[in-house]
Amino acid sequence: MTRRFVARWTGRITRLGFLIAVALLAGRAEISAQTPSASLPGADPALLEDIAVGSRILADFGVLDGFGHVSARSPTNPNHFLMSRSLAPALVTPDDIMEFDLDGNPVDARGRKVFLERFIHAEIYRARPDVMSVVHTHSAGVIPFSVSKVPLRAMYHNPAFLARGVPVWDIRKDFGDTNMLVSNAAIGKSLATALGDKAVVLMRGHGDVAVGPSVKAAVFRAYYTDVDAKLQAQALALGGEPNYLTPGEGEKADKTNLVVIDRIWNLWRMKVLPTLAK
């Protein structure tokens, strides 16, 4: 009798705990995915969340450190783009996202500090109508390829977009001795010209820029560019000429990657979403 009573109540408490856990999880997802942004009224909450998730996951992977940024072209005004106020990528929330024009001017700064290197984004959006997202990193993996004569090549299917070719942009060529930063529109334009129609451009002694048709794609490319660079350095250390992907293989694999990108994005989103919930 007593044992049956205890068993019945244990079962009820377990079920109640489960329901509370489900409700909490659902509430948490709701908070970060659905709440309209206080700083950008009318903006798509899912896009603002993508920028915050992308910034945080790239920081988790060590591709972004205290610097670097993720942006998106505005879906409602192609001559504007969205990026965080000046903030370490690991700390970006949807409420930190601001809107800029293609001259790098904030639409409504309200006293917030902006990134010095926003001209990277502005000039690439101006030059490349197909680009919907830009990621700038100081990825440790790519630095050796930015300063040596060995071209970065596609090692395997995830970084297939590299098989189109990876230009290296040298700020010194047009601007002499600088502080190495893309701090005005002229320098941004020079970088955008070097990127050309490619997915990634390396910046000599600085880092790289990855672009894509969505925030998910640009973040994916920034991450796998870093992974590829580290693997290529390993393959070169083994000796002999590595057997890289051909441009044809790269084009086909890149198409497939973009189709299945939600699988990895949802995993990354799940990892960083708890850090976004208030």
Asked if 117 is an active-site residue, the reply is yes
Say if residues 84 and 96 touch (Cβ distance below 8 Å): yes
Element (H, E) at 82: strand 80-84
CB-count exposure of residue 248 (10 Å: 0-12, 13-18, 19+): exposed
Cα 172 to Cα 125, 175, 203, distances in angstroms? 23, 5, 11
Cα 99 to Cα 82, 84, 96, distances in angstroms? 5, 9, 10
Element (H, E) at 49: helix 45-60
DSSP character at residue 239:
-
| Alpha carbons 52 and 17: distance in angstroms, whole number | 31
- CA 206, 210, 215, 216 dihedral sign is negative
| Alpha carbons 132 and 254: distance in angstroms, whole number | 16
Among residues 99, 117, 241, 251, which one is catalytic?
A: 117
Positions marked catalytic: 117
